[in-house]
Amino acid sequence: IDTDTNTDPIEVKKDPIGAYMDSTFSSGTQRRYYRRNEKTLKEFEVFVYNRHNLHPCSVSEDHIKSFNTHLKEGTAYVLQGPKNTSDDFDTSESTRAKRLSYISKFYAWLDERDVISDNPAKLAIESLDLSVKNKDRPLITLDEMAKFLQSLTDYFVKSWFIMLLKT
């Protein structure tokens, strides 16, 4: 068994996303999370190459911000596979924040192994202010909630909703 935890920066730079995915995700990782993370990183890699002709290890904070705009526009290369159309592609702030957090973790991993000198995603995320403080959820007024409760005919269901509202 090879117990060496050192990483050769040159080897990682050949395929940084592959190296990250191989070393970070074990067999116990949920497949859905693994695929989501990998698709996001591949999307970022394709975006950086197509738009800026750069390697993922050569990006700056501005490239991460432009990737956020790319996601916001819904013009994805990898994330919109054959099943997804532009109508199905989620461009909400919470989803974009989650995708940018995957990228930040990737760059933190590269930074720990001295492949890059700093984490450009961390700075970009802080400056983008992608706070998800219920921005994606509509606010329900007290009158709307009262009408909803009045529309419930089953007393058991109604009592559960009242209990949940009060707690």
pLDDT, tens digit, for every residue of 44-83?
999 999 888 988 888 888 998 888 888 888 777 767 665 5
Structure tokens at 112: 């720990």
pLDDT, tens digit, for every residue of 126-136?
877 665 454 55
Rounded to an integer, what distance in angstroms lies between the CA atom of residue 136 and that of residue 130?
A: 12
Does residue 1 register a pLDDT over 70?
A: no
Rounded CA Rg of the chain: 21
Rounded to an integer, what distance in angstroms lies between the CA atom of residue 165 and that of residue 54?
A: 51
Cβ–Cβ under 8 Å, residues 92 and 120: no
pLDDT of 3: 39
Residue 88: pLDDT band with limits 50, 70, 90: low
Cβ–Cβ under 8 Å, residues 38 and 16: no
